[in-house]
Amino acid sequence: MAFVSVAVPRTGAAPNVRAVGLRTCGLTSPAGRPARTGSGIPLPLLVPTTGPAAVSGRFALRMLGGLSLPPFPFFKNKEDPNRVPLSLECGYVFLAHPEKQTGEDAFFIEGNALGVFDGVGGSANRGVDPRLFSQSLAALTAERVAERGADKVVACLISAVEANPMAGASTAVVVGLDNVGRVFGVSLGDSGARIIRNGKVICRSKDQAHAFNAPYQLSDLDVSDTVAMGSNISSRVKEGDVLVLASDGLFDNVEEPELLALIAAADGDMVVAAETLGSTASDLSRRQDIDSPFAKAARKAGVRWRGGKMDDVTVLTARVVRDPENPALSVLSLLPEKGTEPDEDALVEM
C-alpha cells in the first residue's frame, strides 16, 4: 500500500484512510509545526491510495512549559535546571465506524497537549453534518494551544468552544503534561482518559451522561453543557507511566483488564499499543456473542442490547519518558467532505 501526505483546508475532508507506524504526519516546517495553508489553520492528513478508514503514528513530544491549571495553581514547584524535562512518546489510531465511509471523531497532538473529540451523530437530525463541529473544535483548540502553551489547554478548549463557527455537538477530553511531572485536563461526556502505572490504572476520568447513551456534550446550542461540568483529570506521573485518551468506541467495547493487558503486551511501543487497542475495539464492536461494557451499561439502564457497539474508534497513547532529543511536533486530524477526493497535485509521497 502506498501512503501520501496532504494538507487540506479546514472545511476539507478525506476518504477512508489508514497509516501505520509513521513518524511524521502532514507537511511540517523546520520548527516541527505543520505547514500553513491559505485557509488559516493547518490541517495535515495522511491519505493512502487504498485501505479502510484509519490513521496512526508515532511521536515524541517535548514538554515545553509548566502547567498551572486547577486544582493546584497555587503550589510552587521548583524545577532542577539540569534535569531533562519529562516528555511523551506517542502513538495514535483512528478507525471509522465499520459501516460508514468517514468518521465523526477528531484529535490533536500539539506540543505537550493531547485531545480527542467525538462528534455526536444525533446532530444529523437537525440537518447538521456531525463531523464538522468536532473537527473544527479540535483545530481551534490545537491552534490556541500552539499560541498560548499547553499549560492553558483547558482554557484553550473553552475559548475554542466559544469561537467554533460550526453547528453540532461533541464530547471532548484534553490533557497537558508539565515538566515537573503533573498531568492536568478535563473530559466531558464519554470520551475519556486513563493513566496507567505498572499495569494498574492510577487515574481515570469519569463519564457524564444525562441518560443512558446520552453523554454530556459541547454544542452550539444555548442549552449546551459546558467544560466546567466536565470531569477533572489531575495526577502526578513519572517515567514509564502510560496515558490513554480515547473516544467511547474504545471504552464501550474493551474491558479494562483487556486494555491493560494490551498496553503491557506492547512493551512500551506506543504505536503498537494504539493500533492494537483500536483494532481490538473495532473487531469487538462487530461481535454479537460478547457481553461488552456497553451491553452491561445498557442492561443496568434497563435497555436491551447484545454484543459490541459499532462506532468510530480514536485512541491516543503516550508513554512518559525523559529524552533530550524529543522534538516538539504537531498533529491534527481532519476528514474531508463526503464524496470528495484529495487533489493529486497536492499529494507528497512519504
How is the chain split into domains, by residue range?
3-73+84-338
Q: How does pLDDT run along the chain (350 residues), one tens digit per residue?
A: 333 333 333 333 333 333 333 322 332 333 333 333 333 333 334 333 233 344 555 443 333 333 334 444 434 455 566 677 888 889 999 999 988 878 899 999 988 899 999 998 776 667 788 899 999 999 999 999 999 988 889 999 999 999 999 999 999 999 998 877 899 999 999 999 999 999 999 999 999 999 999 999 999 988 889 999 999 999 999 999 999 999 999 999 999 999 999 999 999 999 999 999 999 999 999 999 999 999 999 999 999 999 999 999 999 999 998 887 777 778 998 765 554 443 333 222 22
Q: What is the per-residue pLDDT for 80?
A: 63
- In degrees, to the nearest 5, what angle opens at C-alpha 242 toward C-alphas 71 and 249? 90
Cβ burial of 75 (10 Å; 0-12, 13-18, 19+) is exposed
pLDDT of residue 216: 97
Nearest to 21 by CA among 250, 220, 272: 272
Residue entry with cell 469487538? 284
- The position carrying cell 442490547 is 305
Contact 42, 33 (CB under 8 A): yes
Q: Give the other-Cβ count within 10 Å of 199's Cβ.
A: 11
- For residue 188, the one-letter residue type is L
Which pLDDT value is given to residue 346?
29
Residue (of 95, 171, 184) closest to 145 by Cα position: 184
C-beta separation of 131 from 125 below 8 A: no
Q: How far apart are the first and last CA of the chain?
A: 12
Q: Which of 217, 305, 309 is nearest to 254 (CA)?
A: 309
Fold held by 3-73+84-338: Phosphatase 2c; domain 1 (3.60.40)
Give the C-alpha separation, 52 to 96, whole Å.
8
How far apart CA 158 and CA 182 sit, in angstroms, is 21
The predicted model scores a pTM of: 0.77
How confident is the model at residue 83, as a pLDDT? 73
Q: How far, in Å, CA of 247 to CA of 217, rounded? A: 13
Q: What is the pLDDT of residue 213?
A: 93
Helix, strand, coil: what percent of the chain each, to 5? 25, 30, 45
